Amino acid sequence: MVAGSETPVVRAPHRTQQIVRELCVIATAIVAYFGVRGLITTRIDIAYRNAEHVVSWERSAGVFVEPELQRTVAGHGWLVEILGDIYIFGHWPVLLTTLLWLLIRHREAYRVFRNAMLLSGALGLVVFALFPVAPPRFFTAYGFVDTVTEHTSAYRVLQPPAFVNQYAAVPSLHFGWNLLMGIAVASLGTHWSIRLFGWLMPVLMFAAIVLTANHYIFDGFAGGTIALLSLLIAYRLAKKPLSARRLR
């Protein structure tokens, strides 16, 4: 009876320490990601030129419909507000809440999705450095409108222009990371409403990044591809025996 009663006392502090340690890792990674992203030297003329390349590619593929879609949405103020809220509050609050849920309830899955986020973030930084792209909101000549800034300053306060690289539209990890969390929630949720949220969340975020003129459609596909590739690698690494990973 004594031994049995001591076990929870020993495990509880250890579990709390693990959670605190992981939260510190995530917080450090987030700060480092945006710090490095903000420090990446970007030639603005190249970023605008690359953005024109993206527009040209989309036109060739017949998918450069962002300005037309945004004009359609602009006629519905309530929809513009909802898209802005999804873009702002559907990102970091959802990411951090989902990661915490995974950490507490699904430890093995947490490691996989955490590693996928870290890996996709690293890959994203490489792309930002090699292929800077100006976001659609800077191209008013095409009819783009920065609806997020027009309706609220919250997002620009949370991520001030001086702190982040404004010319890092490709890839959109704003969408890619939400896609990762959506997969986690949809696959591990125990109630149909939770799983439905997991399915809808990435779809709504994709719509939000495009219709608020923060990303091109191309950016979303690039961010989703990098996120899924990183998730595949993270799964492969998780399946390797511990001894094999130590040998590397």
**Res 9 pLDDT > 50:** no
What's the per-residue H, E or C state across the chain?
A: CHHHHHHHHHHHHHHHHHHHHHHHHHHHHHHHHHHHHHHCCCCHHHHHHHHHHHHHHHHHHCCCCHHHHHHHHHCCHHHHHHHHHHHHHCCHHHHHHHHHHHHHHCHHHHHHHHHHHHHHHHHHHHHHHHCCECCHHHCHHHCCCCHHHHHCCHHHHHCCCCCCCCCECCCCHHHHHHHHHHHHHHHHCCCHHHHHHHHHHHHHHHHHHHHCCCCCHHHHHHHHHHHHHHHHHHHHHHHCCHHHHHHC
85 or 224, greater pLDDT? 224
Q: What is the pLDDT of residue 13?
A: 65
Q: What is the mean pLDDT of residues 136-152?
A: 88
Amino acid letter for position 128 = F
Q: What is the mean pLDDT of residues 90-110?
A: 92
Digit-coded pLDDT (tens) for 164-204 = 678 889 999 999 999 999 999 999 999 999 999 999 999 99
Most confident among 24-33, 55-64, 100-109 (mean pLDDT): 55-64
22 or 119, greater pLDDT? 119
**Res 8 pLDDT > 60:** no
CA distance 127 to 119: 13
Q: What is the mean pLDDT of residues 25-44?
A: 71
For residue 240, what are the CA distances in angstroms to 22, 170, 209, 233, 237?
Answer: 22, 32, 36, 11, 5
**Res 244 pLDDT > 50:** no
Q: What is the pLDDT of residue 12?
A: 56
**Res 7 pLDDT > 60:** no
The gap from C-alpha 222 to its chain's centroid, in whole angstroms, comes to 12
- The pLDDT confidence band at residue 44, using thresholds 50, 70 and 90, is confident
**Res 160 pLDDT > 80:** no
**Res 70 pLDDT > 90:** yes
